[in-house]
Structure 1
Amino acid sequence: MSEFNKLKPIETAHQFINKYFPNCQGAVMAGSVVRGEETYTSDLDIVVFDKSINSSYRESFIDFGWAIEIFVHNLTSYKFFFNLDYKVAKPAMQRMIFEGIILKDEGIIVSIKKEAKEILEKGPERWTEETIKTKRYFITDALDDFIGCKNRAEEIFIANTLAELIHEFVLRTNGRWIGSSKWIIRALKQYDEKFTEEFVESFDDYYKNGEKSKVVHLSEMVLEPYGGRLFQGFSSGKK
Protein backbone atom coordinates (compact mmCIF):
# COMPACT_ATOMS: atom_id res chain seq x y z
CA MET A 1 0.00 0.00 0.00
CA SER A 2 1.58 3.32 -1.08
CA GLU A 3 2.02 6.47 0.99
CA PHE A 4 -0.83 8.01 -0.98
CA ASN A 5 -3.53 5.42 -0.38
CA LYS A 6 -2.71 3.90 3.00
CA LEU A 7 -5.35 4.16 5.67
CA LYS A 8 -5.57 7.03 8.13
CA PRO A 9 -3.84 6.36 11.49
CA ILE A 10 -7.01 5.97 13.57
CA GLU A 11 -8.61 3.69 11.00
CA THR A 12 -5.45 1.61 10.80
CA ALA A 13 -5.25 1.32 14.59
CA HIS A 14 -8.83 0.08 14.84
CA GLN A 15 -8.29 -2.49 12.12
CA PHE A 16 -5.06 -3.63 13.75
CA ILE A 17 -6.77 -4.23 17.10
CA ASN A 18 -9.64 -6.07 15.42
CA LYS A 19 -7.17 -8.28 13.57
CA TYR A 20 -4.62 -9.07 16.27
CA PHE A 21 -6.32 -8.40 19.62
CA PRO A 22 -10.07 -8.83 19.14
CA ASN A 23 -10.51 -10.09 22.71
CA CYS A 24 -8.43 -7.45 24.52
CA GLN A 25 -10.00 -5.35 27.28
CA GLY A 26 -8.61 -2.02 26.11
CA ALA A 27 -6.27 -0.24 23.71
CA VAL A 28 -5.03 3.30 23.04
CA MET A 29 -3.12 4.84 20.15
CA ALA A 30 -0.35 7.21 21.19
CA GLY A 31 2.78 8.86 19.83
CA SER A 32 3.53 11.60 17.33
CA VAL A 33 0.47 10.97 15.13
CA VAL A 34 -1.79 11.70 18.11
CA ARG A 35 0.07 14.92 18.91
CA GLY A 36 0.00 16.05 15.28
CA GLU A 37 3.81 15.88 15.08
CA GLU A 38 4.19 12.92 12.72
CA THR A 39 6.73 12.79 9.89
CA TYR A 40 6.86 10.46 6.90
CA THR A 41 8.90 8.00 9.01
CA SER A 42 6.51 8.01 11.98
CA ASP A 43 5.03 4.74 13.15
CA LEU A 44 1.87 4.02 15.10
CA ASP A 45 2.31 3.36 18.82
CA ILE A 46 -0.46 1.25 20.32
CA VAL A 47 -0.79 0.20 23.96
CA VAL A 48 -2.88 -2.94 24.43
CA PHE A 49 -4.37 -4.29 27.66
CA ASP A 50 -5.14 -7.99 27.55
CA LYS A 51 -5.85 -9.93 30.74
CA SER A 52 -4.98 -13.24 29.05
CA ILE A 53 -1.23 -12.54 28.78
CA ASN A 54 1.17 -13.45 31.58
CA SER A 55 3.80 -10.73 31.10
CA SER A 56 4.31 -7.51 29.19
CA TYR A 57 6.00 -7.43 25.81
CA ARG A 58 6.77 -5.12 22.92
CA GLU A 59 6.51 -6.04 19.25
CA SER A 60 6.84 -4.35 15.85
CA PHE A 61 4.76 -4.94 12.72
CA ILE A 62 4.46 -3.70 9.16
CA ASP A 63 0.78 -3.91 8.26
CA PHE A 64 -1.95 -1.83 6.63
CA GLY A 65 0.83 0.23 5.00
CA TRP A 66 2.16 1.37 8.38
CA ALA A 67 5.00 0.57 10.75
CA ILE A 68 3.22 -0.31 14.00
CA GLU A 69 4.77 -0.75 17.42
CA ILE A 70 2.73 -2.32 20.18
CA PHE A 71 3.17 -2.39 23.95
CA VAL A 72 1.12 -5.21 25.42
CA HIS A 73 0.18 -5.47 29.09
CA ASN A 74 -2.19 -7.41 31.28
CA LEU A 75 -4.35 -5.45 33.70
CA THR A 76 -1.58 -5.01 36.30
CA SER A 77 1.79 -5.32 34.53
CA TYR A 78 1.70 -1.72 33.30
CA LYS A 79 2.15 -0.58 36.92
CA PHE A 80 5.71 -1.95 36.90
CA PHE A 81 6.54 0.33 33.96
CA PHE A 82 4.79 3.27 35.57
CA ASN A 83 7.06 2.79 38.59
CA LEU A 84 10.17 2.23 36.48
CA ASP A 85 9.55 5.38 34.42
CA TYR A 86 8.87 7.36 37.59
CA LYS A 87 12.21 6.33 39.10
CA VAL A 88 14.20 7.45 36.06
CA ALA A 89 12.03 10.57 35.62
CA LYS A 90 11.13 9.67 32.01
CA PRO A 91 7.38 8.99 32.01
CA ALA A 92 7.10 7.45 28.54
CA MET A 93 4.37 4.97 29.42
CA GLN A 94 2.38 7.52 31.39
CA ARG A 95 2.47 9.98 28.47
CA MET A 96 1.43 7.36 25.96
CA ILE A 97 -1.60 6.33 27.97
CA PHE A 98 -2.62 9.83 29.09
CA GLU A 99 -2.31 11.34 25.58
CA GLY A 100 -3.57 8.24 23.80
CA ILE A 101 -6.77 8.04 21.78
CA ILE A 102 -9.00 5.26 23.06
CA LEU A 103 -9.44 2.50 20.49
CA LYS A 104 -11.25 0.04 22.72
CA ASP A 105 -12.40 0.10 26.33
CA GLU A 106 -14.23 -2.50 28.36
CA GLY A 107 -14.29 -0.29 31.43
CA ILE A 108 -10.56 -0.12 32.29
CA ILE A 109 -8.96 2.70 30.29
CA VAL A 110 -10.44 5.68 32.12
CA SER A 111 -8.99 4.61 35.47
CA ILE A 112 -5.57 3.82 33.94
CA LYS A 113 -5.56 7.22 32.22
CA LYS A 114 -6.32 8.77 35.61
CA GLU A 115 -3.34 6.98 37.17
CA ALA A 116 -1.09 8.25 34.37
CA LYS A 117 -2.39 11.82 34.73
CA GLU A 118 -1.80 11.86 38.49
CA ILE A 119 1.81 10.72 38.07
CA LEU A 120 2.49 13.25 35.32
CA GLU A 121 1.06 16.10 37.39
CA LYS A 122 2.92 15.04 40.53
CA GLY A 123 6.28 15.20 38.77
CA PRO A 124 9.41 13.19 39.57
CA GLU A 125 10.90 12.65 43.00
CA ARG A 126 12.84 15.73 44.11
CA TRP A 127 16.62 15.51 44.14
CA THR A 128 18.33 15.62 47.52
CA GLU A 129 21.10 18.12 48.27
CA GLU A 130 23.57 15.26 48.07
CA THR A 131 22.34 14.30 44.60
CA ILE A 132 22.59 17.91 43.41
CA LYS A 133 26.15 18.07 44.72
CA THR A 134 27.07 14.88 42.87
CA LYS A 135 25.53 16.13 39.63
CA ARG A 136 27.43 19.44 39.99
CA TYR A 137 30.63 17.43 40.20
CA PHE A 138 29.79 15.40 37.08
CA ILE A 139 29.05 18.55 35.07
CA THR A 140 32.23 20.20 36.35
CA ASP A 141 34.28 17.15 35.40
CA ALA A 142 32.79 16.98 31.90
CA LEU A 143 33.18 20.75 31.45
CA ASP A 144 36.88 20.64 32.39
CA ASP A 145 37.41 17.80 29.92
CA PHE A 146 35.57 19.78 27.25
CA ILE A 147 37.57 22.96 27.80
CA GLY A 148 40.94 21.20 27.84
CA CYS A 149 40.34 18.71 25.03
CA LYS A 150 42.31 19.25 21.79
CA ASN A 151 40.94 16.23 19.95
CA ARG A 152 37.89 17.16 17.87
CA ALA A 153 36.52 13.61 17.78
CA GLU A 154 36.69 13.31 21.57
CA GLU A 155 35.30 16.84 22.04
CA ILE A 156 32.12 15.95 20.14
CA PHE A 157 31.24 13.18 22.53
CA ILE A 158 32.18 15.17 25.62
CA ALA A 159 29.79 17.85 24.33
CA ASN A 160 27.09 15.20 23.95
CA THR A 161 27.62 14.18 27.57
CA LEU A 162 27.46 17.80 28.73
CA ALA A 163 24.19 18.35 26.86
CA GLU A 164 22.62 15.33 28.57
CA LEU A 165 23.89 16.37 31.99
CA ILE A 166 22.81 20.00 31.67
CA HIS A 167 19.31 19.13 30.46
CA GLU A 168 18.95 16.66 33.34
CA PHE A 169 20.26 19.13 35.94
CA VAL A 170 18.00 22.00 34.86
CA LEU A 171 14.86 19.89 34.75
CA ARG A 172 15.42 17.77 37.85
CA THR A 173 16.42 20.70 40.08
CA ASN A 174 13.15 22.31 39.03
CA GLY A 175 11.06 19.22 39.70
CA ARG A 176 10.41 18.45 36.05
CA TRP A 177 10.47 15.29 33.94
CA ILE A 178 13.49 14.67 31.72
CA GLY A 179 13.78 13.06 28.30
CA SER A 180 16.10 11.24 25.94
CA SER A 181 16.80 11.67 22.23
CA LYS A 182 14.20 14.09 20.75
CA TRP A 183 12.46 14.25 24.13
CA ILE A 184 15.41 16.18 25.58
CA ILE A 185 14.31 19.22 23.61
CA ARG A 186 10.61 18.57 24.10
CA ALA A 187 11.04 18.28 27.87
CA LEU A 188 13.14 21.46 28.00
CA LYS A 189 10.59 23.37 25.91
CA GLN A 190 7.79 22.33 28.23
CA TYR A 191 9.79 23.88 31.06
CA ASP A 192 11.31 27.03 29.52
CA GLU A 193 11.32 27.88 25.81
CA LYS A 194 13.80 30.75 26.17
CA PHE A 195 16.33 28.57 27.98
CA THR A 196 15.82 25.86 25.35
CA GLU A 197 16.70 28.33 22.59
CA GLU A 198 19.91 29.25 24.40
CA PHE A 199 20.69 25.58 25.03
CA VAL A 200 20.27 24.68 21.33
CA GLU A 201 22.15 27.75 20.11
CA SER A 202 25.10 27.03 22.40
CA PHE A 203 25.59 23.47 21.26
CA ASP A 204 24.75 24.27 17.64
CA ASP A 205 27.49 26.91 17.61
CA TYR A 206 29.97 24.37 18.94
CA TYR A 207 29.00 21.61 16.51
CA LYS A 208 29.02 23.94 13.49
CA ASN A 209 31.96 26.18 14.32
CA GLY A 210 33.95 24.46 17.05
CA GLU A 211 33.25 27.44 19.31
CA LYS A 212 33.16 26.34 22.95
CA SER A 213 32.48 29.63 24.76
CA LYS A 214 28.67 29.48 24.68
CA VAL A 215 28.62 25.92 26.00
CA VAL A 216 31.02 26.89 28.78
CA HIS A 217 28.88 29.93 29.68
CA LEU A 218 25.68 27.86 29.64
CA SER A 219 27.21 25.21 31.91
CA GLU A 220 28.43 27.76 34.44
CA MET A 221 25.13 29.66 34.35
CA VAL A 222 23.21 26.47 35.17
CA LEU A 223 25.53 25.60 38.08
CA GLU A 224 25.81 29.10 39.56
CA PRO A 225 22.56 29.13 41.63
CA TYR A 226 23.66 25.89 43.31
CA GLY A 227 27.20 26.95 44.19
CA GLY A 228 28.92 26.82 40.82
CA ARG A 229 31.52 24.31 39.74
CA LEU A 230 32.43 21.61 42.22
CA PHE A 231 35.74 19.77 42.49
CA GLN A 232 37.65 20.67 45.64
CA GLY A 233 36.22 18.83 48.62
CA PHE A 234 33.86 16.59 46.68
CA SER A 235 33.64 13.08 48.12
CA SER A 236 31.39 10.12 47.41
CA GLY A 237 31.16 6.83 49.27
CA LYS A 238 33.72 7.76 51.91
CA LYS A 239 33.06 6.27 55.37
Structure 2
Amino acid sequence: MKNGQRLSALEAAKKFIEEYFPTCDAALLAGSVVRGEATATSDLDIVIFNESLPNCYRESMVVFDWPIEVFVHNLTTYKQYIESDKKRARPSLPRMVTEGIVMKDNGRLIEIKKEAKALLAKGPDKWSAQTIQMKLYFITDTLDDFLGATDRAEEIFIANALAEHIHEFVLRTNNQWVGSSKWVIRALKQYDEAFTASFIDAFDSFYKTGEKSKVEILVDAVLAPYGGRLFAGFSIGKN
Protein backbone atom coordinates (compact mmCIF):
# COMPACT_ATOMS: atom_id res chain seq x y z
CA MET A 1 0.00 0.00 0.00
CA LYS A 2 1.22 3.52 -0.78
CA ASN A 3 -0.40 6.44 1.06
CA GLY A 4 -3.47 4.29 1.67
CA GLN A 5 -3.90 3.59 -2.05
CA ARG A 6 -3.94 0.15 -3.62
CA LEU A 7 -0.87 -0.78 -5.63
CA SER A 8 -1.23 -0.63 -9.40
CA ALA A 9 -1.84 -3.91 -11.20
CA LEU A 10 1.77 -4.09 -12.38
CA GLU A 11 3.19 -3.23 -8.99
CA ALA A 12 0.96 -5.76 -7.23
CA ALA A 13 1.80 -8.49 -9.74
CA LYS A 14 5.54 -7.83 -9.46
CA LYS A 15 5.43 -7.85 -5.67
CA PHE A 16 3.24 -10.97 -5.62
CA ILE A 17 5.64 -12.89 -7.84
CA GLU A 18 8.65 -11.78 -5.80
CA GLU A 19 7.06 -12.86 -2.52
CA TYR A 20 5.18 -16.01 -3.51
CA PHE A 21 7.16 -17.40 -6.47
CA PRO A 22 10.71 -16.04 -6.11
CA THR A 23 12.32 -19.06 -7.78
CA CYS A 24 9.95 -19.43 -10.73
CA ASP A 25 11.40 -19.62 -14.24
CA ALA A 26 8.92 -17.19 -15.79
CA ALA A 27 5.76 -15.24 -14.99
CA LEU A 28 3.11 -13.30 -16.91
CA LEU A 29 0.38 -10.84 -15.97
CA ALA A 30 -2.69 -11.37 -18.17
CA GLY A 31 -6.43 -10.77 -18.16
CA SER A 32 -8.62 -7.69 -18.33
CA VAL A 33 -6.10 -5.32 -16.70
CA VAL A 34 -3.69 -6.05 -19.56
CA ARG A 35 -6.35 -5.62 -22.27
CA GLY A 36 -7.56 -2.32 -20.81
CA GLU A 37 -10.96 -3.84 -19.99
CA ALA A 38 -10.69 -3.89 -16.20
CA THR A 39 -13.77 -3.18 -14.09
CA ALA A 40 -14.19 -2.50 -10.37
CA THR A 41 -14.33 -6.25 -9.71
CA SER A 42 -11.52 -7.36 -12.02
CA ASP A 43 -8.80 -9.59 -10.65
CA LEU A 44 -5.20 -10.16 -11.66
CA ASP A 45 -4.55 -13.25 -13.76
CA ILE A 46 -0.97 -14.36 -13.19
CA VAL A 47 0.60 -17.30 -15.01
CA ILE A 48 3.63 -18.91 -13.38
CA PHE A 49 6.07 -21.34 -14.98
CA ASN A 50 8.25 -23.33 -12.61
CA GLU A 51 10.18 -26.26 -13.99
CA SER A 52 10.77 -27.83 -10.56
CA LEU A 53 7.09 -28.24 -9.65
CA PRO A 54 5.70 -31.81 -9.81
CA ASN A 55 2.22 -30.73 -10.93
CA CYS A 56 0.13 -27.77 -11.98
CA TYR A 57 -2.53 -26.00 -9.96
CA ARG A 58 -4.76 -22.94 -9.83
CA GLU A 59 -5.33 -20.84 -6.74
CA SER A 60 -7.35 -17.75 -5.85
CA MET A 61 -6.39 -15.34 -3.10
CA VAL A 62 -6.52 -11.68 -2.08
CA VAL A 63 -3.09 -10.07 -1.77
CA PHE A 64 -2.19 -6.36 -1.64
CA ASP A 65 -5.94 -5.59 -1.81
CA TRP A 66 -6.14 -7.32 -5.20
CA PRO A 67 -8.07 -10.51 -5.96
CA ILE A 68 -5.53 -12.69 -7.69
CA GLU A 69 -5.97 -15.88 -9.71
CA VAL A 70 -2.68 -17.66 -10.22
CA PHE A 71 -2.20 -20.43 -12.77
CA VAL A 72 0.91 -22.42 -11.93
CA HIS A 73 2.54 -24.79 -14.43
CA ASN A 74 5.73 -26.68 -14.96
CA LEU A 75 7.19 -26.93 -18.46
CA THR A 76 5.17 -30.06 -19.27
CA THR A 77 1.74 -29.36 -17.80
CA TYR A 78 1.24 -26.12 -19.70
CA LYS A 79 1.47 -28.09 -22.96
CA GLN A 80 -1.18 -30.50 -21.68
CA TYR A 81 -3.48 -27.61 -20.78
CA ILE A 82 -2.97 -25.96 -24.16
CA GLU A 83 -3.89 -29.24 -25.84
CA SER A 84 -7.00 -29.50 -23.65
CA ASP A 85 -7.98 -25.92 -24.53
CA LYS A 86 -7.53 -26.76 -28.21
CA LYS A 87 -9.86 -29.77 -27.98
CA ARG A 88 -12.64 -27.76 -26.34
CA ALA A 89 -11.98 -24.78 -28.65
CA ARG A 90 -11.71 -22.40 -25.69
CA PRO A 91 -8.12 -21.14 -25.63
CA SER A 92 -7.95 -19.73 -22.10
CA LEU A 93 -4.29 -20.49 -21.42
CA PRO A 94 -2.99 -19.73 -24.94
CA ARG A 95 -4.80 -16.39 -24.81
CA MET A 96 -3.31 -15.51 -21.42
CA VAL A 97 0.17 -16.50 -22.59
CA THR A 98 -0.13 -14.52 -25.83
CA GLU A 99 -1.51 -11.31 -24.32
CA GLY A 100 0.40 -11.50 -21.05
CA ILE A 101 2.93 -8.91 -19.95
CA VAL A 102 6.24 -10.55 -19.10
CA MET A 103 7.02 -10.03 -15.42
CA LYS A 104 9.92 -12.47 -15.20
CA ASP A 105 11.70 -14.65 -17.72
CA ASN A 106 14.79 -16.83 -17.74
CA GLY A 107 14.56 -17.27 -21.50
CA ARG A 108 11.68 -19.73 -21.72
CA LEU A 109 8.86 -17.38 -22.66
CA ILE A 110 9.90 -16.59 -26.23
CA GLU A 111 9.16 -20.15 -27.33
CA ILE A 112 6.07 -20.53 -25.10
CA LYS A 113 4.55 -17.32 -26.47
CA LYS A 114 5.40 -18.37 -30.03
CA GLU A 115 3.58 -21.69 -29.53
CA ALA A 116 0.50 -20.01 -28.07
CA LYS A 117 0.34 -17.33 -30.76
CA ALA A 118 0.59 -19.93 -33.54
CA LEU A 119 -2.21 -21.98 -31.98
CA LEU A 120 -4.52 -18.97 -31.71
CA ALA A 121 -3.83 -17.97 -35.31
CA LYS A 122 -4.51 -21.47 -36.62
CA GLY A 123 -7.90 -21.76 -34.92
CA PRO A 124 -9.58 -24.92 -33.60
CA ASP A 125 -9.90 -28.19 -35.47
CA LYS A 126 -12.47 -28.08 -38.27
CA TRP A 127 -15.86 -29.64 -37.58
CA SER A 128 -16.71 -32.74 -39.60
CA ALA A 129 -19.84 -32.86 -41.77
CA GLN A 130 -21.31 -35.30 -39.26
CA THR A 131 -20.73 -32.87 -36.38
CA ILE A 132 -22.36 -30.03 -38.33
CA GLN A 133 -25.42 -32.21 -38.99
CA MET A 134 -25.65 -33.10 -35.30
CA LYS A 135 -25.40 -29.41 -34.31
CA LEU A 136 -28.08 -28.49 -36.86
CA TYR A 137 -30.41 -31.03 -35.32
CA PHE A 138 -29.86 -29.86 -31.74
CA ILE A 139 -30.25 -26.20 -32.70
CA THR A 140 -33.48 -27.04 -34.54
CA ASP A 141 -34.75 -28.97 -31.54
CA THR A 142 -33.91 -26.11 -29.17
CA LEU A 143 -35.51 -23.55 -31.49
CA ASP A 144 -38.69 -25.63 -31.66
CA ASP A 145 -38.78 -25.79 -27.86
CA PHE A 146 -38.24 -22.03 -27.71
CA LEU A 147 -40.98 -21.18 -30.20
CA GLY A 148 -43.45 -23.58 -28.62
CA ALA A 149 -42.80 -22.65 -24.98
CA THR A 150 -45.49 -20.67 -23.17
CA ASP A 151 -44.01 -20.68 -19.67
CA ARG A 152 -41.92 -17.51 -19.23
CA ALA A 153 -39.36 -19.14 -16.94
CA GLU A 154 -38.83 -21.99 -19.40
CA GLU A 155 -38.58 -19.57 -22.32
CA ILE A 156 -35.75 -17.66 -20.64
CA PHE A 157 -33.58 -20.70 -20.07
CA ILE A 158 -34.30 -22.20 -23.49
CA ALA A 159 -33.24 -18.86 -24.99
CA ASN A 160 -30.01 -19.03 -22.99
CA ALA A 161 -29.28 -22.50 -24.39
CA LEU A 162 -30.14 -21.38 -27.92
CA ALA A 163 -27.79 -18.39 -27.68
CA GLU A 164 -24.96 -20.70 -26.58
CA HIS A 165 -25.67 -23.09 -29.47
CA ILE A 166 -25.77 -20.31 -32.07
CA HIS A 167 -22.60 -18.66 -30.81
CA GLU A 168 -20.78 -22.00 -30.98
CA PHE A 169 -22.15 -22.89 -34.42
CA VAL A 170 -21.26 -19.57 -36.03
CA LEU A 171 -17.73 -19.56 -34.64
CA ARG A 172 -16.84 -23.22 -35.15
CA THR A 173 -18.13 -23.37 -38.73
CA ASN A 174 -15.90 -20.37 -39.44
CA ASN A 175 -12.75 -21.79 -37.84
CA GLN A 176 -12.97 -19.51 -34.81
CA TRP A 177 -12.43 -20.09 -31.11
CA VAL A 178 -15.52 -20.07 -28.87
CA GLY A 179 -16.03 -18.55 -25.44
CA SER A 180 -18.08 -18.82 -22.29
CA SER A 181 -19.78 -16.19 -20.13
CA LYS A 182 -18.50 -12.74 -21.19
CA TRP A 183 -16.26 -14.39 -23.75
CA VAL A 184 -19.31 -15.47 -25.79
CA ILE A 185 -19.73 -11.87 -26.90
CA ARG A 186 -16.02 -11.11 -27.03
CA ALA A 187 -15.34 -14.09 -29.27
CA LEU A 188 -18.24 -13.16 -31.56
CA LYS A 189 -17.07 -9.54 -31.81
CA GLN A 190 -13.56 -10.65 -32.71
CA TYR A 191 -15.06 -12.60 -35.60
CA ASP A 192 -17.87 -10.36 -36.90
CA GLU A 193 -19.09 -7.21 -35.18
CA ALA A 194 -22.09 -6.78 -37.47
CA PHE A 195 -23.36 -10.29 -36.77
CA THR A 196 -22.73 -9.78 -33.06
CA ALA A 197 -24.89 -6.65 -33.07
CA SER A 198 -27.74 -8.63 -34.67
CA PHE A 199 -27.23 -11.48 -32.20
CA ILE A 200 -27.39 -9.13 -29.21
CA ASP A 201 -30.38 -7.26 -30.61
CA ALA A 202 -32.37 -10.45 -31.22
CA PHE A 203 -31.91 -11.91 -27.76
CA ASP A 204 -32.13 -8.55 -25.98
CA SER A 205 -35.45 -7.92 -27.71
CA PHE A 206 -36.77 -11.28 -26.52
CA TYR A 207 -35.59 -10.78 -22.93
CA LYS A 208 -37.16 -7.31 -22.78
CA THR A 209 -40.44 -7.91 -24.61
CA GLY A 210 -40.94 -11.66 -25.00
CA GLU A 211 -41.02 -11.24 -28.79
CA LYS A 212 -39.39 -14.25 -30.47
CA SER A 213 -39.42 -13.31 -34.14
CA LYS A 214 -35.95 -11.73 -34.22
CA VAL A 215 -34.41 -14.79 -32.62
CA GLU A 216 -36.17 -17.08 -35.11
CA ILE A 217 -34.99 -14.97 -38.07
CA LEU A 218 -31.43 -14.93 -36.72
CA VAL A 219 -31.31 -18.69 -36.22
CA ASP A 220 -32.73 -19.43 -39.67
CA ALA A 221 -30.16 -17.09 -41.25
CA VAL A 222 -27.33 -18.90 -39.46
CA LEU A 223 -28.58 -22.36 -40.47
CA ALA A 224 -29.53 -21.53 -44.07
CA PRO A 225 -26.04 -22.03 -45.63
CA TYR A 226 -26.01 -25.55 -44.17
CA GLY A 227 -29.44 -26.60 -45.39
CA GLY A 228 -31.60 -24.95 -42.73
CA ARG A 229 -33.45 -26.60 -39.88
CA LEU A 230 -32.93 -30.35 -39.53
CA PHE A 231 -35.29 -32.84 -37.93
CA ALA A 232 -36.69 -35.50 -40.26
CA GLY A 233 -34.09 -38.02 -41.27
CA PHE A 234 -31.54 -37.21 -38.56
CA SER A 235 -30.07 -40.26 -36.86
CA ILE A 236 -27.23 -41.13 -34.48
CA GLY A 237 -25.82 -44.62 -34.07
CA LYS A 238 -28.15 -46.41 -36.48
CA ASN A 239 -26.51 -49.36 -38.24
**How would you bin the TM-score normalised by the shorter chain?**
over 0.9
TM-score when normalising by structure 2: 0.98
Residue 186 (structure 1) aligns with: 186
Residue 198 (structure 2) aligns with: 198
Provide the rounded CA distance (Å) in 2 between the counterparts of 1:21 and 1:168.
37
Provide the rounded CA distance (Å) in 2 between the counterparts of 1:165 and 1:61.
34
Provide the rounded CA distance (Å) in 1 between the counterparts of 2:238 and 2:181.
34
Q: CA deviation at 1:76?
A: 1.2
Q: How does 1:15-54 map to 2 (within 5 A)?
A: 15-54=15-54
Provide the rounded CA distance (Å) in 2 between the counterparts of 1:25 and 1:209.
54
Matched, 1:238 2:224: no
Residue 208 (structure 1) aligns with: 208
Provide the rounded CA distance (Å) in 2 between the counterparts of 1:76 and 1:109.
14
Q: CA deviation at 1:179?
A: 0.4
Q: Which amino acid aligns with 1:40?
A: A
Residue 177 (structure 1) aligns with: 177
Provide the rounded CA distance (Å) in 2 between the counterparts of 1:110 and 1:5.
34
Q: Which amino acid aligns with 2:23?
A: N
- Residues 19-47 of structure 1: CA deviation (Å, up to 9, x unaligned): 00000000000000000000010000000
Q: Secondary structure at the match of 1:180?
A: coil
Aligned length: 239
Q: How does 1:83-98 map to 2 (within 5 A)?
A: 83-98=83-98
TM-score when normalising by structure 1: 0.98
The gaps in structure 2 that reach 5 residues or longer are none
Residue 56 (structure 2) aligns with: 56
Provide the rounded CA distance (Å) in 2 between the counterparts of 1:9 and 1:110.
23
Q: Secondary structure at the match of 1:70?
A: strand
Q: Which amino acid aligns with 1:171?
A: L
Residue 10 (structure 2) aligns with: 10
Q: Secondary structure at the match of 1:146?
A: helix
Q: Secondary structure at the match of 2:162?
A: helix
Q: CA deviation at 1:67?
A: 0.4
Q: Which amino acid aligns with 1:82?
A: I
Q: Secondary structure at the match of 1:46?
A: strand
Provide the rounded CA distance (Å) in 1 between the counterparts of 2:109 and 2:14.
16
Residue 147 (structure 1) aligns with: 147
- Residues 102-149 of structure 1: CA deviation (Å, up to 9, x unaligned): 000011011100000010011000011111000000000000000001
Residue 105 (structure 1) aligns with: 105
Residue 164 (structure 1) aligns with: 164
Residue 219 (structure 2) aligns with: 219
Matched, 1:129 2:155: no
Q: Secondary structure at the match of 1:147?
A: helix
Q: CA deviation at 1:53?
A: 1.1
Q: CA deviation at 1:52?
A: 1.8
Provide the rounded CA distance (Å) in 2 between the counterparts of 1:197 and 1:209.
18
After TM superposition, what 4+ stretches of structure 1 lie above 6 angstroms from structure 2? none
Q: CA deviation at 1:75?
A: 1.1
Q: CA deviation at 1:238?
A: 1.1
Q: Relative to structure 2, which stretch is displaced further, 80-89 or 4-13? A: 4-13
Provide the rounded CA distance (Å) in 2 between the counterparts of 1:115 and 1:58.
21
